[in-house]
A and B are shown apart, each in its own frame.
Chain A
């Protein structure tokens, strides 16, 4: 029973909002956001409490639920992202005049779906979790249903997402056909030798998860959806979804070591394509939000680079350095990107027009706190030293170097070059944001922004502290630049 406390927190909060909503009627009510935020934060805390016990994995619900550190870490990140989103949403929706309570219910259930997806080693469980979160997110993307962009984003996400689900189900069918079970430990035991059927299935799974992670060439939906969806939801999608999809994909890849050798190069090339296309496209954008959408594709590419290293690393019992690198990257990236989107969402105007670089002009004097937050987040995304983003990318760099020096040498040198070149390109467009805020004059006339609540400001400041602390800070209560390494390693071990 104590295994599902975090789920209970989410579902209870969702139910409270729903019931209260019945009483207030269609108008919605102001407390929905705070309730959702508290629910998600509570779930986050409960996940943290599970961390200690999760050192020895336990299963529950007839093998459907698996509580291990990998899953707990990913769940905690999803809850954190959800809590921040719930804080940002009311401001954003009220400005559009459409603060609907259902949005928060959906958000909470999506988080629950995410947790279900990663806290299992059963493919059926993972699939049900995945679809719970997907269906919820389709609706959340279209939450501002009076806006064309929002509805278009929702529909595009829905149709491409359902298409990807179709591929995923087919992949599951093929893997099932080869192994005779959906349980990953059984699959690992059965599929000791490579077979065409299973290999095709795994590749289709790769496509399905690649879609969620917005890996090129399965990324085309992402810029459009990220641009059209309400900004806090975009922040949520670009972080939490990546966390859980990466975690689930890692579980699948971990359970099929017999195929690693065959797909490592394919994954490597996907990674090269993803970083390159993501970063190059980001360079050409005028809208800040769309730029961040492409940048998040680029970051998915860095994750894929680590996946390639993961596949190439010989399967030793226990700890895997590339896996730790992925988890470290996910933590740093989640916090950073959430901060960036928090600022973006606070700055947007009521008419829902996308923010351009020129709109950021003179922000340092208009809103020093927001400008500084965005500055730190951009530096972290660009992986400038002393930020969390730097240590995260450093890890990926290190595992690639490790591989490049081993037998698979030449191919991993290619990946290393891709990582380095793209980091340089990334620097260019992240700096554009900084120079716009700090060095360009304010636009005339000033965009009509509404005042930002103290809570949002507080969240921004907390995220800034987290990014710097996790990038350069000493350990306090086991967390810090160094503590993060240990946590990522514990999750990977």
Chain B
């Protein structure tokens, strides 16, 4: 079993290396067969997928955990970090998603990137990304996880900037880099604290520590910072890191821009896998979060607000990929809400279902963009239903799944999250639930707005759209099919199901308790009514979208005309990015703007960051202005410094 486990990342690494070699080969002017590159690129994740199935099936025999040790990486004093891989139920879920959906996206890419230059380089980076992603979830300790965490980031920038001739895309890559460094900073401090507290970075070791009497006492004890307990401090710092990678408030700003990359990349990295790394990390450390209600509450509130806020921003986008980008932020909010409740199976289930329907949607949007000759504006689409029937069917099915139409997958996973948040019994849980509940309406509305604007009505563009090649519609069809049926893995008990998914993850959740107890006999009634209400919300959203974009297409125009300022504000994503620019360019003007944006603290936060930036540069100018080149000035300052030094110490 250990061999199969090692082979998963190694196969992907080999694929990346081979394609990297082909890329260098072709850079030297030698021709490389496209077929060869495609075969290598797809064989690697497919093989990894087969191995992942092996591991998954062998997990039961191995007692729920398979471990393999590569080598000792760092060993300093008490700190021993091995490059060790381990797989348990949680890892298996992630592995199957990464390699399975990853394989499909690789296959899709072979057709999508057909006309592009440098395809070997592209596939090399895609394989490398999948490699790092598997390392991230396979890591036996936080240090290995961090290697994967940084590695996927690196590949993400490489792939966003795939066409680096375009400076806008280059800037997007840079923005993603900087924002993620801000997140990493919190993450690193958390690692350090964790190491100093628990003496290990090993997940099993930390868990043992957190459940031991002494460790529990230390973690619940005061940290000396703002009255937070040690567990809270570590938990919040880790979540800080997660907000960067998983695009939550306040560090979400990079994700919409990251859509500048090729669409399959958006599907794989910025929807299905990498952005869920933060969710995985919180789920992995659930035993730590269980010790800190404060950290859990923070996660639930931030995640809930993110899901609602991003949903609002998705309403007014006209770029098809931007709608999907904001919807991704919103959906990760749901996942975070789920893991924030402490019942991580809820959040992880949404990771799985989301991976299916969002990958299908992204691939579908890629097909649409491909068919419309790189047109991304939905106002110049429409009527594609007849021209691209397969794509239309796949996307509609996925959108319905995401909107929570029963019995498609999104219905089960979203419902579970909302139910867990509602029954969490805390204020934060209720806030998270309310945001998520309202967000469900928005989700249904903006998704079907997208469907109706793209496929409904008549064509408004100038290209000649046509159905995409077979590998493209077949992969998106397969994903959509998955999106439709994967939900049956998590049918709750009250619907006569067995919640197979929840039971599968049970070994990694400390208290696998049903929240019914808290609500007594009414619990079942409450769960039923919540479920009914979210179905109503979903259907209401879809109907509203139908009403506004099919029945009365002039309605949205009239509405936006009535509230031009609000619409403009939403369309411009609350002008978070503009506020960012204006504080640098026109500090005085931005002052007024920030009053307007008081409700959106991003403007303020980022403004301060930028303001500091310009102050720093100004100080630098002043300092180098003092560097006159005059020798005696230099010596004078030296003498002054020496005198001050002598006086301060001796005097």
Binding site for B on A (CB under 8 A): 156, 159-160, 163-164, 167, 196, 199-200, 203-204, 206-207, 211, 216-218, 220-221, 223-224, 262-263, 266, 270, 277, 280-285, 294, 364, 384-386, 397-398, 401, 425, 427-428, 431, 435, 438-440, 472, 474-475, 481-482, 485-486, 489
Indicate if the CB atoms of A160 and B638 lie closer than 8 Å: yes
Indicate if the CB atoms of B638 and A218 lie closer than 8 Å: yes
With A386-B147, A439-B170 known as contacts, the answer to whether A223 contacts B627 (CB < 8 A) is yes
Q: Once the chains are docked, how many angstroms separate the CA of A167 from the CA of B613?
A: 38
Indicate if the CB atoms of B188 and A385 lie closer than 8 Å: yes
Would you give the shortest CB distance from B194 to chain A, in whole angstroms?
Answer: 13
In the complex, whether B164 has a CB less than 8 A from a CB of chain A is yes
Indicate if the CB atoms of B649 and A263 lie closer than 8 Å: yes
Indicate if the CB atoms of B649 and A485 lie closer than 8 Å: no
Would you give the shortest CB distance from A256 to chain B, in whole angstroms?
Answer: 13
With a CB–CB cut-off of 8 A, which chain A residues contact B621? 284
Q: Once the chains are docked, how many angstroms separate the CA of A429 from the CA of B146?
A: 25
Would you give the shortest CB distance from A142 to chain B, in whole angstroms?
Answer: 15
Ordered nearest first, which 5 A-B pairs have the shortest CB separation? A284-B620, A439-B170, A217-B641, A220-B634, A283-B620
Q: Which of B227-283 contact A (CB under 8 A)?
A: none
With a CB–CB cut-off of 8 A, which chain A residues contact B635? 159-160, 163
With a CB–CB cut-off of 8 A, which chain B residues contact A472? 147
Q: Give 8 A-B pairs besides A204-B642, A431-B178, A439-B170 with Cβ atoms closer than 8 angstroms.
A: A199-B649, A199-B650, A203-B646, A223-B624, A266-B645, A397-B192, A401-B192, A439-B164
With a CB–CB cut-off of 8 A, which chain A residues contact B633? 220
Q: Once the chains are docked, how many angstroms separate the CA of A216 from the CA of B642?
A: 11
Binding site for A on B (CB under 8 A): 71-76, 83, 146-147, 150, 161, 164, 167, 170-171, 173-174, 177-178, 181, 184, 188, 192, 196, 613, 616-617, 619-621, 623-624, 627, 629, 631, 633-635, 637-638, 640-642, 645-646, 648-650
Indicate if the CB atoms of A266 and B616 lie closer than 8 Å: no
Would you give the shortest CB distance from A300 to chain B, in whole angstroms?
Answer: 14
With a CB–CB cut-off of 8 A, which chain B residues contact A277? 623
Q: Tell me which of A167, A220, A263, A440 contacts B627 (CB under 8 A).
A: A220
Q: Once the chains are docked, how many angstroms separate the CA of A299 from the CA of B259?
A: 37
Indicate if the CB atoms of B645 and A485 lie closer than 8 Å: no
With A203-B645, A439-B164 known as contacts, the answer to whether A160 contacts B634 (CB < 8 A) is yes
Indicate if the CB atoms of B649 and A439 lie closer than 8 Å: no
18 A-B pairs with C-beta separation under 8 A: A160-B635, A160-B638, A199-B649, A203-B650, A206-B645, A211-B638, A217-B641, A218-B641, A220-B634, A263-B649, A281-B624, A294-B624, A398-B192, A439-B167, A439-B171, A472-B147, A482-B74, A486-B76
Q: Once the chains are docked, how many angstroms separate the CA of A112 from the CA of B167?
A: 49
Indicate if the CB atoms of A203 and B71 lie closer than 8 Å: no
Would you give the shortest CB distance from A153 to chain B, in whole angstroms?
Answer: 11
Q: Tell me which of A266, A280, A284, A440 contacts B649 (CB under 8 A).
A: A266
Indicate if the CB atoms of A280 and B616 lie closer than 8 Å: yes
Would you give the shortest CB distance from A396 to chain B, in whole angstroms?
Answer: 13
Would you give the shortest CB distance from A407 to chain B, in whole angstroms?
Answer: 15
Q: Once the chains are docked, how many angstroms separate the CA of A246 from the CA of B637?
A: 22
Q: Tell me which of A156, A216, A474 contacts B631 (CB under 8 A).
A: A156
Closest to B73 in A: A474
Q: Once the chains are docked, how many angstroms separate the CA of A266 from the CA of B644?
A: 10
Indicate if the CB atoms of B83 and A474 lie closer than 8 Å: yes
Indicate if the CB atoms of B638 and A163 lie closer than 8 Å: yes
Most chain A Cβ neighbours within 10 Å, of B73, B147, B619, B641: B641
Q: Once the chains are docked, how many angstroms separate the CA of A204 from the CA of B650?
A: 12
With a CB–CB cut-off of 8 A, which chain A residues contact B637? 217, 220
Indicate if the CB atoms of A482 and B174 lie closer than 8 Å: no
Q: Tell me which of B73, B164, B619, B620 contacts A438 (CB under 8 A).
A: B164
With A206-B645, A280-B620, A401-B192 known as contacts, the answer to whether A224 contacts B627 (CB < 8 A) is yes
Q: Once the chains are docked, how many angstroms separate the CA of A481 from the CA of B146?
A: 15
With a CB–CB cut-off of 8 A, which chain B residues contact A156? 631, 634
Would you give the shortest CB distance from B631 to chain A, in whole angstroms?
Answer: 6
Most chain A Cβ neighbours within 10 Å, of B76, B174, B196, B640: B76
With a CB–CB cut-off of 8 A, which chain B residues contact A431? 174, 177-178
Would you give the shortest CB distance from B156 to chain A, in whole angstroms?
Answer: 15
Indicate if the CB atoms of A283 and B616 lie closer than 8 Å: yes
Would you give the shortest CB distance from B268 to chain A, in whole angstroms?
Answer: 22
With a CB–CB cut-off of 8 A, which chain B residues contact A425? 616
Indicate if the CB atoms of B623 and A284 lie closer than 8 Å: yes
With a CB–CB cut-off of 8 A, which chain B residues contact A364? 164
Q: Once the chains are docked, how many angstroms separate the CA of A411 from the CA of B631?
A: 34
Q: Once the chains are docked, how many angstroms separate the CA of A205 from the CA of B259?
A: 57
With a CB–CB cut-off of 8 A, which chain B residues contact A440? 167
Q: Tell me which of B146, B181, B648 contacts A427 (CB under 8 A).
A: B181
Would you give the shortest CB distance from B81 to chain A, in whole angstroms?
Answer: 8
Would you give the shortest CB distance from B303 to chain A, in whole angstroms?
Answer: 26
Closest to A391 in B: B74
Indicate if the CB atoms of A386 and B150 lie closer than 8 Å: yes
Indicate if the CB atoms of A435 and B170 lie closer than 8 Å: yes
Indicate if the CB atoms of B627 and A482 lie closer than 8 Å: no
With A220-B634, A283-B616, A439-B171 known as contacts, the answer to whether A474 contacts B71 (CB < 8 A) is yes
With a CB–CB cut-off of 8 A, which chain B residues contact A204? 642, 646
Indicate if the CB atoms of A482 and B178 lie closer than 8 Å: no
Q: Tell me which of B75, B150, B631, B640 contacts A482 (CB under 8 A).
A: B75
With a CB–CB cut-off of 8 A, which chain B residues contact A200? 646, 650
Would you give the shortest CB distance from B203 to chain A, in whole angstroms?
Answer: 19
Indicate if the CB atoms of A485 and B623 lie closer than 8 Å: no
With a CB–CB cut-off of 8 A, which chain B residues contact A211? 638
With A218-B638, A220-B637, A284-B617 known as contacts, the answer to whether A485 contacts B624 (CB < 8 A) is no
With a CB–CB cut-off of 8 A, which chain B residues contact A428? 613, 616
Indicate if the CB atoms of B150 and A385 lie closer than 8 Å: yes
Closest to A280 in B: B620
With a CB–CB cut-off of 8 A, which chain A residues contact B616? 280, 283, 425, 428
Closest to A294 in B: B624
Q: Once the chains are docked, how many angstroms separate the CA of A439 from the CA of B176?
A: 14
Closest to A390 in B: B188
Q: Once the chains are docked, how many angstroms separate the CA of A425 from the CA of B618?
A: 13
Would you give the shortest CB distance from B237 to chain A, in whole angstroms?
Answer: 13
Q: Once the chains are docked, how many angstroms separate the CA of A368 from the CA of B622?
A: 36
With A220-B638, A283-B620, A435-B174 known as contacts, the answer to whether A482 contacts B649 (CB < 8 A) is no
With a CB–CB cut-off of 8 A, which chain B residues contact A207? 638, 641-642, 645
Q: Once the chains are docked, how many angstroms separate the CA of A196 from the CA of B650?
A: 7
Q: Once the chains are docked, how many angstroms separate the CA of A5 from the CA of B66?
A: 53
With a CB–CB cut-off of 8 A, which chain B residues contact A266? 645, 648-649
Would you give the shortest CB distance from B165 to chain A, in whole angstroms?
Answer: 8
With A220-B633, A431-B177 known as contacts, the answer to whether A284 contacts B624 (CB < 8 A) is yes
Closest to A223 in B: B627
Q: Once the chains are docked, how many angstroms separate the CA of A271 from the CA of B645?
A: 13
Would you give the shortest CB distance from A202 to chain B, in whole angstroms?
Answer: 9
Q: Once the chains are docked, how many angstroms separate the CA of A283 from the CA of B622?
A: 11
Indicate if the CB atoms of A485 and B167 lie closer than 8 Å: no
With a CB–CB cut-off of 8 A, which chain A residues contact B71? 474
Closest to A488 in B: B76
Q: Once the chains are docked, how many angstroms separate the CA of A217 from the CA of B641?
A: 6
Q: Once the chains are docked, how many angstroms separate the CA of A223 from the CA of B75?
A: 39
Q: Once the chains are docked, how many angstroms separate the CA of A217 from the CA of B637?
A: 7
With a CB–CB cut-off of 8 A, which chain A residues contact B74? 481-482, 485
With A163-B635, A207-B641 known as contacts, the answer to whether A281 contacts B620 (CB < 8 A) is yes
With A217-B637, A266-B649, A284-B623 known as contacts, the answer to whether A482 contacts B642 (CB < 8 A) is no
Closest to B80 in A: A482
With a CB–CB cut-off of 8 A, which chain B residues contact A282? 620
Closest to A420 in B: B185
Q: Once the chains are docked, how many angstroms separate the CA of A427 from the CA of B645?
A: 31
Q: Once the chains are docked, how many angstroms separate the CA of A199 from the CA of B649?
A: 8
Q: Once the chains are docked, how many angstroms separate the CA of A282 from the CA of B620?
A: 7
Q: Once the chains are docked, how many angstroms separate the CA of A481 from the CA of B167?
A: 36
Q: Once the chains are docked, how many angstroms separate the CA of A462 from the CA of B635?
A: 40
Q: Once the chains are docked, how many angstroms separate the CA of A397 from the CA of B189?
A: 10
